[in-house]
Structures are given as C-alpha cells and as structure tokens.
Chains A and B, each alone.
Chain A
C-alpha cells in the first residue's frame, strides 16, 4: 500500500452538497412517462377471514386504471416471500406468505387489494370505495399466552404458534451449584418501529416487448431484491434492474423484501403502465418490520469474590404473523449472552413465537443490543448482590486474551476491554460522580450512573458461516475498479450507502491504494445494472470490513497489473519496480518515474507485454476469514424525579473501539446516531397494540414517540484503537455500536438511581408513567421490580 494519506483523514462528505441543496434523489423524486399511483387496501383487523371483496364502485371512480386482488397477482407472481435459516436452521413452522392476502388476513395492515389511478389522490379516494367483508377471528397478541396449549392460532388450522425452539447450549446444573449468589431477571425488549425518515417506496416500469423490468426502490440491498423478485416474476437477472438511489435511512428495515416490492412491479406488468407506491407513515408503522419484540428470562451466578460462574438466557421472540426474511438473525442475542466476560458456563435457548402482528426483523443491532442489555443487566444485579462496584466486577471478569473462542464457538478477533472502561470512567469522572451520588442521596436526589461494556459481532461475514444462514448466498462483498484512459477512476460496490458516507470513505481507501488524487475517484452503488454481477448490501456494520476490503482488493489487482506494465515500459523486471504514492520507478532510480495515469493511458494502447490484455479494470470478491468484533464502554448519568418518574439524562459518555478508522468524522456521526436510537428505546419508543382487538395504538407520530433535539444532551465521545487482525485494513464496524451499548447504559443508570428504593429492575421504555408506578409500589413497601405495564 502507498503511504497513508487519506485513510484516517477527516474528509467532508462529497454527497452533502447535493443533499443540502435539495438535489438528493430519493425514490419519490422519480417518475416515468405515464406513471400511475398505487394505493394499497389493507386489513383493518389483526385476524379475519376475507369473505368477499367488492371492487365495483372503486373501479368506476375517477382516474382509476385498475383494481387488483389476490386472483390477479397469482397470474404474474409465484412462490412465497423468502425466509432464511439465519441462526435457526430448522423452524417448526414458517407460514407461507404470498404478498397479498387471499382468504385470511393475519395482521393489521396486510394487503388485500390495490388500486391504480392517474393521481395519488384518486388512488387514495378509490381505495376507500373497496368493500371487503371480513369475519373476524381471535387475535393472538400476547407472547406468553400464544404458547399456551389452549391459545387460538395465528393462522387457521395451524397446530400451534411455535415458530422455533432451539437450545444452543443446555444448563449445566453442576456449574450452577458453584455460584454463591444467583440473580434472576425477566427483561422486556419492546417492539420498536425502525422509522427511517424516508418511508419505503417502489416505482416499477415493465417493458412488454423487451421483457425487462426496472425497479426504483428504497433498499439497503438491491441485489437481493433482484434475486428474489426475479424468482417470483420469472424474470432473469439480466432483464431485471433494481435501482436504490438516495435512501433516507434504513436501520435494518430496508434489507428484507416486502409485499409491495412484489405487488408494484407485478401491477406494472399487469397494467402495462409504470406504477409508483410511496408508503405513508401510518403504513410504515403498521407494515414495515418491527425490531426487538422479545422477552428474556435470565439467570446468572457468581462467586463471593465476584468471579462470574454462569449465565443462562432464554429468548422468547415475537416473530409476528410470518417469519421475517431474517427474523431468526435476532437469535444471535443468545450467542452473545456472555458479553465481554469469562464465564464458566453459558446456556442459551431461543423460542420463536408467532403472533397476529407485523413480522419482526433486524433493526439496528439486531440481537446484539438485546445480548448486551441482558448481560449488562445481569452483571449489575450480581454486583448489587455482592455489594461490588459495577466497574469492579466488570474489570475482574473481562476477557483479556485474544483471539478468544466463546462458548458458542465464535472467535473474538481482538479487544482491550479494560482500556475502554478506563477511558470512559476517566471522561465521566467516575469517582467524583459516585461521591456526588452519595451526597445527593442524603438530600433525596436520585442520581444514577449506568455502565455498559459492550461487544459486537459484525462484518457479516465468512462464506462458510453465512452461506448456510442465507440458504445459499454467502455474505461476501464485491467491488469493481475501473481506471479510464486519462486516469480517472470509477469504483462500483455491492454495498449501499444511505447515510454512512461510503461515497467519501471508499474513495479514501482507493486513493491510498492506487496513490491517485482522491478527487479523481468516483464511487457508484445501488444500481444492479452496474458493477459486479452480485452485491450483498449494507447491514450488520459490514460495509467497511467486507465491502471496503473488496474495494481494497480490487484496487490492489489494478496496482499489480499496472506494475507489470510499468516494468515493461521501463524495460525492467517486475520485482525491481517500486510503487510509491501513485508513481512507478525502478528501485535505485527514483528520478525516472511514471505516474499512475501514464501507465493507465498506456494500458489502452499498443505494445503491451506478451499476453497482457488492454485495459485497466478489476473485479474482486472479498471473503473475510472471520467476523470482526468492536467493543467499548458507555456511561450514562441520569437523575430520576421520584415525584413524576421523569428521567433527566444529564450526561452520556461513549468510548468505542472499531479498529482502524478511515474517517473519524463519520465514525463519530455513526456513534451519535446509534446512541440516540438506543436511548430512545430505553426512554421513549414502543409499538403498542390493543391486546383484545389487535389494533395498533401507535400508528402515527402523534402516538409513536420519537425524540426531538430537545431530549438529548451532547454526547461525550472517546476512542481507543485496537486494529482487527481479521483484515488487511485492520478495520471493524461502527454502524450499530451506539445502539448496542446505549439502551442498557441508560437502564442501568435508572436502576442505580432507584436502588435506594429497593427497585432492582426497570423495563423499557422507562417512561414517566411506568417509573412513577414502580416508585409508588416501592415506596408503599410492596414488592418491586415487577412489570408495571403489560
């Protein structure tokens, strides 16, 4: 590699001038000649039989072009929506899902009909004229009750509501007996709406003469959509182009394909008109996959001196009415239940449960925030039981030697956990805070300090591990680097940037590898008609550690060819050629140089070495040897008002280690956003359904609480750098770190604040009403730590 000049530099984002000028192009900003608007008629019931659908009035309404129902779509769509094995290879039940309901609807918001009209107002008007006769059925809404033998079933005729039940590692009763103290806790991970500010949207145009389909959509993984949609519509990949342009956030909810991703292209084929559908916010809250939706039963034990002995976690996952494509990915919470610590034994079981709700699927962190939450809560409870400082018990039990193989066979590549803890405590002024807390308690002030020492598995991932998990496609990554005759460079990647800044950071890598000016490199992504044959998308903090490495690998192939050509031009042996900052020269004669651009130009000319083809371009697929393992420690400082249950988040300290850094400004930005989302889960957000009717009670932003700028302090960041030995760049991932760490930092702080009242556990969201009730119960001398709201 050339001398590093761009890697590690704070380069301002080149995508920003268009985005701050209103020149970004999101899917709703595109149209096609003759385009019609599509509106979806959705089930208002969580569970019902569809007795009849009367489209007569709607079909006659002004501007209506067509009305389609299940019977129309079966003519152009086949098969069912994809479900991957993920971390649960064998599922007991995975109900087949067609993108539009036929005789039975199983969650509120499930499509039953679509209307195509000349304008979106007309499509919306006409959709209200469709009369659907339903016969309602009992809705299965509660995770616990769903597993009871007498429970109604989510799907008529199903044997029960069990999706999967897998014990990764069973209990070891002998080890459990070695513990001097044992704690038990039940942890609620409420359903969260991922809520990117841009909702989903699809625009599709079908050419009947050519048999080609072009789809513009808001997706994190356009190649996967092409793969699945092509299968459903019988269109080969070479005639199907998926374009995911500027995307207004994803957070995991734009990985898996959705019903509308099938229905809109199918409607374009059926009608012969380009069709556009843009999801409304209510549709988004109701039908875009939710995150979390889990309950954990946790038991952990330690010796008197604080040595950790065992942790046992059972995950009950509310899968919803169908399995999300990557629903079972969330079971990775089990595999990381031991967190950053040495335990003698870790036991874990995952149970997937069907309910009459929209499916859950990955949301920022997907399984890893849940793992961190349960483990860090258990650590604090053990510290409390042992009357140890929470920092001390962590320090005593940290994993310190790497690579470390955990109980599930996962290999942590590198780490320095204590270093991050020390830095976080230093920034926080931990000792001083503890003194303030002690003083405050005397005056009736409930100050709390919460620690979260997090780890993460990311950079998905090695082909041997990931191909079985997806059902065949390995989650490697591809890149193509093209050097044009005059030396400018285009880089095509299979990842997708929707806020992560790849347009800036990937060219930083290429600039260093090729030694060419950063400004001469352009990054392209999100269009399946460009670049390598397959791309794997952006999720799971994988883009840099896998995609960045693919870019680096392709760039090195370019340098290799250019070096051969330069040797030929110098009439020297290849091994005698030096390459430094974009200049080739014969070792020992650094005065005579050939710039990279000169060699690039020559590569398109005559007189190349024997056997060398013209051109200077390369494709690389990078298959990592392992996952990567970022880590860190976060500290939240809160004050709880016992009169109102209000939590004042006074300070938030985040020390993260994601290995080597390409652009520190972007890393900090990722941490800010991630931390905010975790805090938001801890304090504000919750998807609420009415347990009787199955109606969503949080179907607009009026009821689904997203925090504004008013709710957060400035976050205080620190950083340690422990390079990853897994890849040549030494990089890990940072997209999810903040979210993984922060929910439990806040909850631990609240529990710490309320410890004098005997409150041992608080569930999320720690809203004023929930906390107030718990404080009231605790002050009244009744038992504490119980779930105040179901």
Chain B
C-alpha cells in the first residue's frame, strides 16, 4: 500500500506516493532524482547521506520518506545560490582541498552547515566533534577541518570579503 507524501525539497514542493518503508535517502535519490546525497553504509555511521530537515542535520538513511511529510528538506543540490554562486561551505571545500574522491563531501557540507548554524565560530575541537558522525577515507580530515574554519570566517565576514577571498584563492 502506498502513502502520499508531500515535502519541500530545496524550496520546491514535491508530492509522491511511496511505500511506507521507503527510506528518505532512496526517496531523494530514486524518486525525486537528486543523486548528490550518497549512501556509504547500512547502519547510519558514515554520514554520506546527511541532509537537513527543517534546518536540522539528519542522516537520511535513518528516516522514512513518509516521516518527512510537510517538512522542508535541503540537499547538497540546494546549497548554491540560484545564480550558481557556491555556498561558502562549498567554496571553502574547493579552496582548501577539502575533498578528494568527493563521495563523502555532500554529507560533510550538509553536516557542517548545521554545525555552523548552531555555532558560527567553532574551535578546531568543536569542528572535529561536530563532524564525528561523518566518515572520510581520503583526506585524514585535515583539509575538511580547514574548510569549515575557512567557511566560518567567510560567513561571518561581509559578503564582499567572502567573494574576494574566493576569487583570490583560485590560484595562489
């Protein structure tokens, strides 16, 4: 038996009929067609599937699609501005070489966006603790931590400064 579910994904209203057991991550990937949210484990350890639901970071493999009824979901595809300008976190991961294979990256960016929404000026330790629900196998986390620090700085500074930082960092 299928259930109706109505959500807002990246600002767009979505209505579908889904199986009650359908995981949110499969809903986003297979039904809505947003494949930027990844699956890296079966047991909610890796955080690759992190999205925000009503502003709060959620591992989308731990939630059924029907539980998202009426909620607003943001995925990695919803982070950049409409004109394509990258979100400061996306820009910072690029600038600081915060990714290699890129598979865990959407989850890290989404988890970090929640972290910075709760704590705009985290210390290094707070960043490390704040991201402990996400696993990366490529970077040793060194440049992920730097990316979040750099994004925090950009988000706290004026928008003009953040833009300058990004342009200058392209080739240093």
Contact = CB atoms under 8 A, between A and B. Distances in A.
B136 A672 contact: no
B82 interface: no
Contacts of A23: 36, 77
A21, A23, A280, A712 interface centre (most CB from chain B within 10 Å): A21
Chain B interface mostly helix, strand, loop or mixed? loop
Interface stretch (A376-384, A529-537, A698-706): A698-706
Contact of A501 (B100, B106, B137, B171): B100
A697 to B, nearest CB: 14
Interface string B90-106: 10011101011111111
Contacts of A29: 29, 35
Contact of B140 (A199, A251, A715): A715
Nearest to B170: A12
A197 B103 contact: yes
A708 interface: yes
B101 A672 contact: no
A715 B142 CA distance: 7
Given A121-B21, A677-B137, A709-B145, A20 B43 contact: no
B102 A248 contact: yes
B38 A20 contact: no
Contacts of B140: 672-677, 712, 715, 738
Contacts of A282: 42
Contact of A673 (B38, B105, B138): B138
Nearest to A518: B171
A17 interface: yes
A251 B86 CA distance: 30
Given A198-B101, A198-B103, A672-B139, A248 B38 contact: yes
A672 B22 CA distance: 38
Interface in A268-322: 278, 280-282
A665 B97 CA distance: 7
Given A281-B43, A673-B140, A715-B140, A249 B101 contact: yes
Nearest to A702: B43
A733 to B, nearest CB: 16
B45 interface: yes
Interface in B38-91: 38-43, 45-46, 48, 75-77, 79-80, 86, 90
A20 B92 CA distance: 10
Contact of A196 (B94, B101, B144): B101
A709 B103 contact: no
Contacts of A22: 34-37, 75-77, 106
A593 interface: no
Contacts of A11: 171
Interface stretch (B1-9, B124-132, B152-160): B124-132
Contacts of B132: 708-710
A453 B127 CA distance: 32
Contacts of A675: 140
A26 interface: yes
B141 A669 contact: no
B169 interface: yes
A737 B35 CA distance: 33
Contacts of B101: 196-198, 246-249, 498-499
B43 A700 contact: yes
B76 A21 contact: yes
Nearest to A16: B94
Q: Which of B36, B97, B99, B124 has the most CB of A within 10 A?
A: B97
A44 interface: no
Interface residues of B, number: 60
A53 interface: no
Contacts of B128: 708-710
B162 interface: no
B134 interface: yes
A197 B40 CA distance: 5
B141 A499 contact: no
Contacts of A669: 97, 100, 138-139, 143
Given A121-B19, A198-B101, A714 B145 contact: yes
B39 A28 contact: yes
B109 interface: yes
A135 interface: no
A576 interface: no
Contact of B102 (A24, A666, A738): A24
Interface in A1-31: 9-13, 15-17, 19-26, 28-29
Nearest to A196: B137
A710 B129 contact: yes
A21 B36 CA distance: 7
Contacts of A500: 100
A669 B129 CA distance: 21
A500 B97 CA distance: 11
B12 interface: no
B23 to A, nearest CB: 10
B135 A701 contact: yes
A673 B43 CA distance: 24
Contacts of B118: none
Contacts of A16: 93-94, 99, 102
A681 interface: no
A499 B80 CA distance: 22
A195 interface: yes
A281 B41 contact: yes
Contacts of B129: 710
User: Which of A499, A700, A708, A714 has the most chain B CB atoms closer than 10 A to its own CB?
Assistant: A708
Given A21-B76, A199-B40, A673-B100, A714 B142 contact: yes
Nearest to B35: A29
Contact of A10 (B100, B144, B145, B171): B171
Contacts of A13: 94, 97
B138 A499 contact: yes
A21 B43 contact: no
Contact of B131 (A20, A709, A714): A709
A20 B39 contact: no
Contacts of B105: 19-20
A12 B94 contact: yes
A700 B142 contact: no
Interface in A736-753: 738
29 contacts: A10-B171, A12-B94, A20-B90, A21-B77, A21-B90, A22-B36, A22-B77, A23-B36, A24-B102, A28-B38, A121-B19, A197-B48, A197-B101, A197-B104, A199-B40, A281-B46, A499-B102, A499-B138, A665-B97, A669-B143, A672-B143, A673-B137, A675-B140, A701-B135, A709-B127, A709-B132, A709-B136, A709-B145, A712-B140
Q: Which 3 pairs between the two chains have the least Cβ-Cβ distance?
A: A22-B36, A248-B103, A676-B140
Given A16-B99, A669-B143, 16 more contacts: A16-B93, A20-B90, A20-B99, A20-B109, A24-B36, A197-B136, A198-B40, A246-B101, A248-B40, A248-B101, A673-B100, A673-B139, A677-B137, A708-B134, A709-B127, A715-B142
